[in-house]
Structure 1
């Protein structure tokens, strides 16, 4: 990287901190900090939803798969997410918004105390929070690998630099800072991605490279699904991503909650769906062509880095690197905000009764402290691990396999079709799904051959089956649960039943 590249990266970090500082003026209480007070425009909510869904892992782990295996990574990853969000626009998005508008909910897990009970809520809160801190550690490692590849910055310093900048604007500005930086990052990544796409097109003599490269690549690279990504893996991941990206990944539920009303939340989901179907193609085409430009790489994880060094002029590498940062910082800041909401609103009140009596100012201070602690813990894990050789394993194997069991009762509990399912069904779903994953994972580490599709599909299938079966055998309906579910069907006058006073 040259001087101009470093100026671009430094300027990017400066702007992100500036946005966080400005966003402080919009934060008056914890509802503003966690849900933007329901005042976020639908288009900003949609762009923020899209940007918060992926990180620099795409340019390490997923770019590696695109380099090695070709088209399949778009089919089983981006396509499943884009279609899943499109479905969720009509099923889930407005319901999340109405939880905030009608019940004063600021955390996606806050409604679970009424929908099921407090013990069920606590099991899901603790399991999801521990999962997320490891997930985010993997993302710090991914962006640090990119920074080392482009600029020679050691892994530890890369994690610290990007992490501290993210920590500053997340702690200061809450969800408003997250969304506004998401928008700025969207513009940066659009410019960086288009620059790389145009550079690769120019290398091959024009836009026709998009269809001509397939004849020069191995025939299997153009197959929609290829080993180890089978049809079973695709179907399991499609269900997981539909649940995950419509609120099972808690920070994405926040984007719907932040919109003014249910109709606006639906529009934001549709915008995010379109972006997921289109934008990854721009990012992946250079990687699909990369084996023809930088063949025989010893490590496919370095594919995007090596391609950028060859194809991009001075200044552009800095822009692309800023784009890498943008994705990771977008996801981490939004995750930190929602985990802070879960800790502050759902976990701490049951560990420390005094939290309920804190003033509005003290609650806001507590929210900022928990945001700081979460980001710091994830950075510590990333630094101590060194970030080597585990990015794809964490993101695909662990997160994809365990997100399903946590998301099933959270998401299906919003829907009237599952009103019979109560606390017993929810606990059985979460505990059994995670238990099946743990058994499979331990067996795999002991030398037993466990296919990737089994590691992802079996925990999800177990959770779904037990959630429905236990609910049918032991229905647990009551008036409070029915009223909560029914209130989420339409926009309307606010129900004076806030879950907790902000």
Structure 2
């Protein structure tokens, strides 16, 4: 990178901070900070949902898969995500919106105390927070890896720079800042991705390379499933990503909660699904043909895309593509930070022994301050984890993303998402806690307790275990009560366009958070 590239990068950081400062004016309470007050347009919610779904891991870990195996990176990654989001648009998007518009909650997990009980809510909250610290740590490490290729910065320096910039705008502006910066990041990534595609096509002989280059690639590059990424892996990934990207990892749930009503939430989900069908293929093409243009130096080929960019793009465009790397990572990390802050301030803090009583009585101003402080704390912890992500504990970036996140999302998301469905009303606290605990044990057993298992078995066993136990225990030990049925009725009833999804003032933690009647108005 030269001075022109640095100017582009610094200018990008400046715009992100400016958006955060501008968004600060729209944030008056926790409702605005966590769910945009229910006023976010569906198209902005959809773009934000899409952008918050992937990071620079695509340009490192998945670039390595593309370099080594070819188009299976799309077939077994973004394609099942698109299908999963489309399924979630019908099953979960509208119901997630009603959590805010009908139950008046600011955190996705606030309803769990009424749906199950306090221990269930706390188990899911704590385990999810710990998982996301590791997950976001992997994202910081991914972008720092790319930054080191272009600038020579150390891993820790790259983590510090990206983490501090992200912390400024997402802490000041909340979900509004996240969504608006993600819109800007989408435009930047659109320009950067198209620039990279055109440059690679020019290097390969022109536009006709789109259909003539395939027989020049290494053997197996055009196979939809190859190597460890088999048909079974594809089906397992589809199963997992349907839960993860439909709200199971919370930050996507916030996008649906932020729209005006359930119908708007479904429209935003469909837009995100369409983007997942199309846009990753544009980004992946240069990675698929990279073996014809560069030789990866790392064993996992995670540096392939960075080397390709460094070789082909002129200064200025190089800076724009590096900005594109940052845009994805910062979008995902900031959205995760906001979601975790919501869960901590609305669900965990009110249940803590010493500060719980005070947390349940926070004023709007005090609650907003707690939200911002917890956002900073989460980012700091994830940055600390990022410095260890290449240690023997985590092995490499793609291991964290595929195994840890895919393997652990099921036990956390199954009770959360299926708990909203009327068909699962008999599954109560016992089903939720047993399925959660057994899923975590299945993750440990298949990843660390047993050796030689296939990747698809490792990632699908936890979520499959949780799903089966959640449903079976619900049948064998039904725990539906009139109070729980009333909660489900409010989540499931009514026309999606009935106008009940408009913005509503949220209670402070003392009036509907985890510490009292479970985040549901007493009229329920």
Which residue does 2:418 correspond to in 1?
Answer: 412
Residue range with higher mean Cα deviation, 351-360 or 128-137? 351-360
| TM-score, normalised via structure 2 length | 0.93
Q: Deviations over 1:208-250 (max 9, x none)?
A: 2222222111331111111211222211111110010010010
Matched-pair contact (CA < 8 Å) for 1:236–1:460: no
Which residue does 1:329 correspond to in 2?
Answer: 330
Residue 385 of structure 1, CA deviation: 4.7
Which residue does 2:519 correspond to in 1?
Answer: none
Residue 383 of structure 1, CA deviation: 2.5
Which residue does 1:43 correspond to in 2?
Answer: 43
> Is the partner of 2:427 in helix, strand or coil?
coil
Which residue does 1:145 correspond to in 2?
Answer: 145
Does 2:457 match 1:451?
no
Residue 368 of structure 1, CA deviation: 0.5
CA distance in 2 between counterparts of 1:288 and 1:392 reads 18
Corresponding pairs, count:
499
CA distance in 2 between counterparts of 1:497 and 1:261 reads 15
CA distance in 1 between counterparts of 2:56 and 2:448 reads 28
Which residue does 2:342 correspond to in 1?
Answer: 341
Does 2:167 match 1:161?
no
Residue 420 of structure 1, CA deviation: 1.1
CA distance in 2 between counterparts of 1:54 and 1:385 reads 18
Q: Deviations over 1:386-405 (max 9, x none)?
A: 67952001000111111112
Does 2:78 match 1:78?
yes
Q: Following superposition of structure 1 onto structure 2, how do residues 44-123 of structure 1 map, counting pairs within 5 Å?
A: 44-123=44-123
Given candidates 354, 364, 387, the residue that maps to 1:360 is 364
- Taking structure 1 as reference, are residues 158 and 210 closer, same or farther at Cα in structure 2, changes over 3 Å only? same
> Is the partner of 1:174 in helix, strand or coil?
helix
Given candidates 419, 422, 430, the residue that maps to 1:424 is 430
CA distance in 2 between counterparts of 1:482 and 1:189 reads 45
Q: Following superposition of structure 1 onto structure 2, how do residues 427-442 of structure 1 map, counting pairs within 5 Å?
A: 427-442=433-448
CA distance in 1 between counterparts of 2:8 and 2:481 reads 58
Which residue does 2:385 correspond to in 1?
Answer: 381
Structure 2: gaps (5+ residues): 513-524
CA distance in 2 between counterparts of 1:274 and 1:188 reads 19
Given candidates 369, 393, 396, the residue that maps to 2:399 is 393
Q: Following superposition of structure 1 onto structure 2, how do residues 297-308 of structure 1 map, counting pairs within 5 Å?
A: 297-299=297-299, 300-308=301-309
Question: Which has the larger helix fraction?
Answer: 1
Residue range with higher mean Cα deviation, 89-98 or 386-395? 386-395
Residue 306 of structure 1, CA deviation: 0.7
CA distance in 2 between counterparts of 1:306 and 1:412 reads 44
Structure 1: gaps (5+ residues): none
CA distance in 1 between counterparts of 2:426 and 2:449 reads 35
CA distance in 1 between counterparts of 2:78 and 2:458 reads 20
CA distance in 1 between counterparts of 2:55 and 2:73 reads 15
Which residue does 1:32 correspond to in 2?
Answer: 32
Does 2:471 match 1:468?
yes
Matched-pair contact (CA < 8 Å) for 1:103–1:498: no
CA distance in 1 between counterparts of 2:398 and 2:136 reads 13
Residue 488 of structure 1, CA deviation: 2.0
Which residue does 2:187 correspond to in 1?
Answer: 187
Alignment RMSD: 1.6
Residue 207 of structure 1, CA deviation: 2.0
CA distance in 2 between counterparts of 1:321 and 1:493 reads 43
Residue range with higher mean Cα deviation, 168-177 or 219-228? 219-228
Matched-pair contact (CA < 8 Å) for 1:29–1:360: yes
